[in-house]
Each structure stands twice: as C-alpha cells, then as structure tokens.
C-alpha cells in the first residue's frame, strides 16, 4: 500500500493503522499493489452470495421497472440488508444523495424510511420462508436484525402470526 496524504498531522496515525509510510502530497491517494487486487475479501462468503444473488437480482429487476423513491429505497435495501446495512445513511449513500434529501423525497411520496425498511424486510422474510430453506436465525441475519428475537417480534407484528403459524398456514 502506498498512501499520499494532504495533512501531515494525521500521518503518524495513518502509518500506525495501515502499517505503511505516508507521503505528503497535493491530494489524498491510496495505491494498492496489483497482486492485492486479486486477493479475496476476508469477509467473502460465496455460498451465501450464490444462495441469495438470484433472488436479489429478480427483485431488483422488478423494482427497477418502477422508479419512484420508495421503490429505489426498497431496491437499495434489497442489496444492503444481506450485508448487514440497514441505516438510512447506507441507503442515502447507495442512492447518491444526502440523508436529508432522501428524507424529503420520502416525505413528498407520503412515506418514511422506517416504512420502506419494514416493507422490504417483510417481503423478503416471506420470500425466504416460502423458499423453505432458511431458518429464522438465517433470515434475521439476512435482514440485518441484531438478533433473532427482534426479527420474530417484527414478523409477528407484520403478519399477526408467528413464523411457525405462517408456515403452517401456507401449507394448508
């Protein structure tokens, strides 16, 4: 790694954190060795990606047909939730807008971020359950819940049923 930094004051901190020399420059620039680009991410999980990618792509293509702000937020959440990202800041960044602009556009559309997050999670939870291969723990993880109990409470609030009751009702 080669790092060029504008402010000399941060150089020792950056050098300690990254373990590389920091050069003074007119602009901030990080240069990686070409061979580093070929290394896999440490958090990479191909089995989860292969499992969820086809469903995410299908949903994204459906959502892209309708380009209103609610749809764009749900589309972004569909990509971000499995990565553990559920904050409005994550979605605003994904949509290339400020949090305030996103909030204003959602308000103009008579909705809110929390409504869109809840709707996206509910739709995805039902889809995962209908698929029949995911446990409640896995679904909670894929929907960026802190723990399984929070997911189970939310599911009951959305549907008026426990996960078990929901699964039983779809089998009948």
What distance in Å separates the CA atoms of residue 14 and residue 32, rounded to the nearest whole number?
15
Q: Tell me, what's the pLDDT at 148? A: 95
Using the structure block, give the residue that is written with the tokens 């997050």.
Answer: 117
Strand ordering across the sheet containing 2-5: 22-24, 2-5, 29-31
- pLDDT at 1 exceeding the cut of 70: no
Across 3-18, b (16+ Cβ under 10 Å) vs e yields: bebeeeeeeeebeeee
- Quote the tokens at residue 22: 């920091």
10-37 confidence digits (pLDDT tens): 667 777 777 777 777 777 777 777 787 7
Q: Tell me, what's the pLDDT at 29? A: 74
35-45 confidence digits (pLDDT tens): 877 777 666 77
- pLDDT at 64 exceeding the cut of 60: no
The DSSP secondary-structure symbol of 57 reads H
């Amino acid at each position: 790694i080669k790092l060029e930094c504008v402010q000399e004051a941060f150089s020792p901190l950056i050098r300690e954190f990254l373990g590389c020399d920091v050069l003074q420059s007119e602009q901030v620039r990080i240069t990686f060795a070409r061979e580093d680009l070929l290394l896999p991410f440490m958090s990479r999980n191909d089995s989860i990606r292969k499992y969820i990618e086809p469903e995410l792509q299908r949903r994204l293509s459906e959502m892209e047909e309708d380009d209103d702000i609610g749809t764009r937020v749900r589309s972004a959440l569909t990509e971000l939730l499995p990565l553990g990202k559920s904050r409005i800041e994550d979605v605003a960044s994904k949509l290339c807008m400020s949090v305030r602009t996103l909030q204003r556009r959602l308000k103009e559309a008579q909705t809110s971020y929390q409504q869109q997050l809840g709707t996206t999670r509910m739709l995805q939870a039902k889809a995962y359950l209908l698929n029949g291969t995911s446990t409640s723990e896995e679904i909670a993880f894929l929907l960026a819940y802190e723990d399984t109990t929070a997911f189970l409470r939310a599911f009951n609030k959305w549907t008026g049923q426990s996960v078990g009751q929901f699964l039983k009702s779809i089998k009948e």
